[in-house]
Structure 1
Amino acid sequence: MKAAGVLALIISLSIVAESKLYTRCKLAKIFVKAGLDNYGGFSLGNWICMAYYESRYNTSVQTLLDDGTVDYGIFQINSFTWCRSDRIRQKNHCHVACSALITDDLTDAILCAKKIVKETQGMNYWQGWKKHCEGKDLSEWKKGCEVS
């Protein structure tokens, strides 16, 4: 019995260790380095605001939707169109495993988000952005973060 409890604790700790909850300013610096500031005509504030309302800057968020698909990671990228999970009928436009979108390495998530902005109608893909960020003064989102 004790071994099973210890094993369960080790597994849960390893799962937690793979995810990361970023701060606003750390994410701003990562986004600038990755070329998101003004990507697709959207300022850094748009990206930071969107990530906040989609995932609260948490890389491990997975949201099961009513249609059976799942939104993954910091940008809540959907499994049916953009990434590959264990389901057979998927488009996988980003050519990435959905599991790669829920790690603390944001490379795949950022590349996929760029593809979404480029191939759809900008940031309209993200409901969090449309509801909370679109058309707003977003300068506060990068304030104090020492990014240009």
Structure 2
Amino acid sequence: MKVVALTLFCLLISVNEAKVFEKCELAALLKQHGLDGYHGISLADWICTAYHESKYESSAVGPPNTDGSQDYGVFQINSRYWCDNQQGETANGCRISCSAFTNDDITDDIECAKTVVRDPQGMDAWVAWKNHCKGKDLSEWTAGCSL
């Protein structure tokens, strides 16, 4: 019985493990879902942003922000404006639960990111993009990827 319990415990742990994408794997996936050039934003901008927001980790959840909101998923999408985490006021602009951004299927993350960049702030909605990617040579972010 102990072996069965231990096996189940290990399975539960492995199910909850985060997917950490490789740079080129993520780049190919984002390109496949139409982010390369979406709303005038380069694929390199998206890859740079995802790296500095989550280190490409699908299950990333940021610590509480000063307004009490949190950020979720590979793009660290904010709960105050874009998703509902059941923990406070939200505009829920993407009409989705924040927990949907913490699994290995990032299709919904990508669709919400498209919504975010159509907002007047555009990529400036991501502090990591403003601080690490904006106005910089980003060629390294897709270098070596067969796209």
Relative to the length of structure 1, the TM-score reads: 0.89
Question: Higher mean Cα deviation, 65-74 or 40-49?
Answer: 65-74
Partners of 2:136 and 2:90 lie apart in 1 by 34
> What residue identity is the alignment partner of 2:93?
H
Tell me how far apart the structure 2 counterparts of residues 77 and 120 of structure 1 sit (CA, whole Å): 16
How much has 1:70 moved relative to structure 2? 1.1
SS at the partner of 2:83? coil
TM-score (norm 2): 0.89
Gap regions ≥5 residues in structure 2? none
- Residue 8 of structure 1: CA displacement? 5.0
Compute the displacement of 1:10 (Å): 4.2
Where do residues 69-84 of structure 1 align in structure 2 (5 Å cutoff)? Answer: 69-84=69-84
Count of residue pairs brought into register by the alignment: 145
CA drift at 1:26: 0.3
> What is the rounded CA distance, in whole Å, between the counterparts of 1:10 and 1:68 in structure 2?
33
Answer yes or no: is 1:11 the counterpart of 2:12: yes
**Correspondence 1:1-148 to 2 at 5 A:** 6=6, 9-16=10-17, 19-65=18-64, 66-87=66-87, 89-147=89-147
Contiguous gaps of at least 5 residues in structure 1: none
- Hey, what's the Cα distance between the residues in 2 that align with 1:67 and 1:119? 20
What is the root-mean-square deviation in Å for CA atoms of aligned residues? 2.0
CA distance in 2, matches of 1:120, 1:20: 31
